[in-house]
Each structure stands twice: as structure tokens, then as C-alpha cells.
Amino acid sequence: MLLKDEEIIALFFDRDEKALTETARKFGGYLKAIAANMTDDKRDAEECVNDAYLAAWNSIPPKRPQSLKTYLTVLLRRCAIDVIKKNKRARRIPKKLFSPLDELADVIPGEDADSALDERLLTDIINSYVSSLSARQRYIFISRYYVNRSAAQTAKKLGVSKSTVDKELVQIRAGLKEKLLKEGYDL
């Protein structure tokens, strides 16, 4: 039987290593699937998942996440970025994590240095934009650009066709473009 989130968190707080096995039992499949979307290599995916477990172990306590699954998703993304940085240094740049961003790259300002966005500002704008989306659109955006699911995977989850998701992604990107324009960035 799978433990409840609060029971697993209690194990983390008790520094009981069973916390990790229970976390893996409950969320392992989900995390491995996401990690596989983010990396090109099975070993990298496993490394990301293990790093996420370790990061959870090191941060709980004092952190007491409200949703363990959410927290692990965030940790996994961070770990994936770290793995990418490591691979980049080794000139082994993973394509999977970048391919969805190809679609997004068109909405941010171009070569004009004056309109270049810094990372923090862009994060704030994207955050604000994603918060303003409907629950469904937010789900589609994060599904595609944060956990790197393909449009087909997202469509399957939603029970709609891939073309429907593609159309919605076009609308979402158009909305982000508009938001950036409103913020004063000419494209």
C-alpha cells in the first residue's frame, strides 16, 4: 500500500531512509517518465531521478512541501538542468530538452540588444502569463515546456487529438508574444 504524502514527509523528518523507498514506490514511475522526456540518455534520466531523491532528502526538513509530487517535479527539473550543464561542458548537449523550446524561441525578442530580456525578467513574465492562463492551458504549457511531453503525449492525457493540442499551443504562444509586447518588447 502506498503511503500518504504526509506519512512519507514524516519519514523524511524522522530521517528514516524508508522515505526514499516509499517516494520511489509512489512517484518513481512518474518521475522516470518525465526524466526520459528531458534527457536523451537512459542513464542521464536515472541520474536525474536519483539526484531528485537526494535533493529531497537534503531539503526535507526543513522544507515541508504541501505536495510531494509537485516538489519532486520541481527538483527533477532542476536536476535535469544540472545534468544538461554537465553534459554541455562535456560537449554532449541533449536535444530533447531544447526541442520544445524551438517553438517558444520565436516569441521572445530577436537580435536587438536593447530589447534583450534578462533571465529573471523573462521568468517573471512567463510566470505571470502562465498564472493567467486557464487551468487547461496552463496544463498544456507546463506539460510541453516544463516536463517536456510531446503534443501527442499531452493529447492522450487530455483525451483529444494531437492537432487540438497543437492548435492550443499556437494560441498559448501567441498569447505570450502579446504579453511580451504589452511589457514593451518589440519583436
Partner 1 sequence: MNRQEKKELLLSAVSGLSEDNISDFVKYDDFLTQKPGYEPVIRPVLRVVGAAAICAVVLGSLFLGLKYIEYKSDIINSQTTEAAESTEEEKPEPVSEEEDYAHRFDWQYEYDFEYDSGSMPGDYMYNDAMVNGCTLLLKRNVHTGECTPVCTVPSCKHDSAECPFYGTTCVVGIGNIMYGSMKDEKLGKWVVYSYDPETDKKDIIAESAAKIYELISYKYYLYCKRVDTGFTRIDTKTGEFTKVRSQYDYSVSSIHSGMMIWSKDSSGSPVYVSTDLLGENARSYDPHIFNGKLHKVIENADGSSSYAQLDRSGKIEKIMAEDSCYAIPIGENMLSFGAYTDGETHWIDPDDHSKGRRLANGDIYITPLNGGESRLLCHIDGYEPRTAAIACANSKNVMICGDWIAIMTPQKISDNEPGNNNRMILLNMKTGEYHISRYTE
For 23, other C-beta atoms within 10 Å of its C-beta total 25
* Site membership for partner 1, residue 58 (CB under 8 A): no
> Whole-number minimum distance, CB 42 to partner 1, in Å?
21
Answer whether 101's CB lies under 8 Å from 145's CB.
Answer: yes
Cell of 1: 500500500
* Site membership for partner 1, residue 186 (CB under 8 A): no
* Site membership for partner 1, residue 122 (CB under 8 A): yes
* Site membership for partner 1, residue 173 (CB under 8 A): no
State in Å, rounded, how far the first CA of the chain is from the last one: 53
CA dihedral 141, 173, 99, 139 (to 10 degrees): 10
Give the chain's radius of gyration (CA, Å): 18
Site residues, partner 1 (CB under 8 A) = 1-2, 4, 6-7, 10-11, 14, 61-62, 66-67, 69-71, 73-74, 77-78, 81, 84, 97-98, 101-102, 104-105, 108-111, 113, 116-117, 119-120, 122-123, 126-127, 130-131, 135-136, 138-139, 142-143, 145-147, 157-159
